[in-house]
Amino acid sequence: MNQPMQLHLFDQLPAGFLEAEPETLHTCLPGPSLIRIEGEASPPLFVSTLLHGNETSGFYAIRDLLRKYSEEKRPLPRKLILFLGNIAAAEKNLRHLPDQADFNRIWSGKHYPEHHLAEQVLKLAHDEPLFACIDIHNTTGKNPLFACINRLDPHSIHLAEMFTSTLVYFNRPAEVLSRAFSNFCPSIVLEGGRSHSPAGTRTVAEFLEKVLHLTEIPDAPNGGSPPAIYHSVARIHVPEDSRISFNKECVQKDFCFVEDLEAMNFKEIPENTLLGWRHNPAMNLSIIDEKGREVESRYIRYVENEIRLKQGVVPSMFTSLITAVHQDCLGYFMEPYQIPDPSLT
């Protein structure tokens, strides 16, 4: 793909949107689209979905919410700017097409033609104040519903707590939409479980409606139990040309991970836990910390052909979907994070 990608602008919902499925959305949206929808309060809420074409909970949640207000002939409680990203990949139920960049890795830098698209969206977002930014995703592995923040400001934390009590604070990857928007408004990521989960979609829709009804985002906690905040400290990659599988008996593979790897997500996993087996000693896993440094030796040791943890961690987003491992990563390592108490400083 050599030509800059065009952003399509709409001042109202295009015909057919409320009846569309992710696979048919291309019939009413010719490509990445920004849709402005009128509502009673200003400034608008910015909602992003389908940055990954196979992560559909955000689309279904916002479609169903807009359908409800349309059927009841009621205006939205707040203006809405809706960004729908990778329409072409959604048609094929893929994260992204083979000739495309990952649409959630284009929001800083200038490495890909798709950066031009991100620049257009960010310029329009800068042109007016925003109430908040909510970017909606799904996970491929077994994870609880959780929210991500890139800044530890009270407004972003409060907004994330409205969705779940499980929060992840991260700074890498640095090229994500939520981090770009966090420079000028409260910005969070919703991880709504696996795609096509009715429960996840319903929870996302209920959250969006709550946010649309807010008159302001408080800078105080929501009350009740404090959220469990984790700091994402490292990202695990397999070599690009490696062959992988997820059971001990795999043959002719470079890495074989334990079959229940996903069951470790969001649990405290102790030192020396077995993650899998390396059958090609010429290959190593790559573990990158939030400063971009290779830190594999800090977290992993190879005992003969076994891959074992060198220290206790809390994994997240471990996935056994091989395409996702190669397109993105195997998962993340986290640590529990305690927000400093201002009264003690």
pLDDT digits (tens, 9 = 90+) for 13-26: 999 999 999 999 99
- Domain positions in the chain: 8-226, 231-336
Tell me the pLDDT band of 341, cut-offs 50, 70 and 90. low
Residue 67 DSSP symbol: H
Q: What is the pLDDT of residues 65-84, one digit of tens each?
A: 999 999 999 999 999 999 99
Say if domain 8-226 classifies as CATH 3.30.930.10. no
Has residue 279 got a pLDDT over 90?
yes
Label residue 345 by pLDDT band (50, 70, 90): very low
Query: For the ranges 121-135, 241-255, 306-320, which has the lowest average pLDDT?
Result: 241-255
For the chain, give the mean pLDDT.
93
Tell me the pLDDT band of 219, cut-offs 50, 70 and 90.
Answer: confident
Supply the pLDDT for residue 70: 96
Instruction: Output the six-digit token pair for 283.
Output: 């290959």
Q: Which of 98-107, 160-169, 175-184, 332-341 has the lowest mean pLDDT?
A: 332-341
Are residues 302 and 275 in contact, defined by beta-carbon separation less than 8 angstroms? no
By mean pLDDT, which of 119-128, 164-173, 335-344 is the weakest? 335-344
Q: How confident is the model at residue 248 (pLDDT cuts 50, 70, 90)?
A: confident
Contact criterion met (CB below 8 Å) for 64 and 72? no
Strand partners, 257: 276
Q: What is the pLDDT of residue 224?
A: 62
Q: Say how far apart CA 340 and CA 345 lie, in whole Å.
A: 8
pLDDT at res. 112? 86
Using DSSP's 3-state secondary structure scheme, residue 264 falls into helix
- Over residues 100-115, the mean pLDDT reads 91
How confident is the model at residue 225, as a pLDDT? 67
Bigger pLDDT: 140 or 91?
Answer: 91
CA angle 314, 315, 316 (to 5 degrees): 125
pLDDT for position 343: 45
The answer to whether 296 and 287 have CB atoms below 8 angstroms apart is yes
Name the pairing type of β-strands 166-169 and 274-278: unpaired
In the chain, the percentage of residues whose pLDDT exceeds 70 is: 96
CA distance readout (Å), 211 to 45, 205, 206, 218: 8, 10, 9, 11
- Run of H or E including 126: helix 115-126
Instruction: Write phi, then psi, for 189 (nearest 5 degrees).
Output: -115, 135
> 216 exposed, middle or buried (CB, 10 Å; 0-12, 13-18, 19+)?
exposed
Spatial distance between the Cα atoms of 299 and 90, rounded to a whole number of angstroms:
36
Structure-model confidence comparison of residues 344 and 91, the more confident one: 91
Is residue 4 over pLDDT 80? no
Retrieve residue 1's tokens.
Answer: 């793909």
DSSP code string of 269-296: B-TT-EEEEES-TT---EEEETTS-B-H
Across 46-68, average pLDDT: 98
The encoded tokens of residue 191 equal: 């991880």
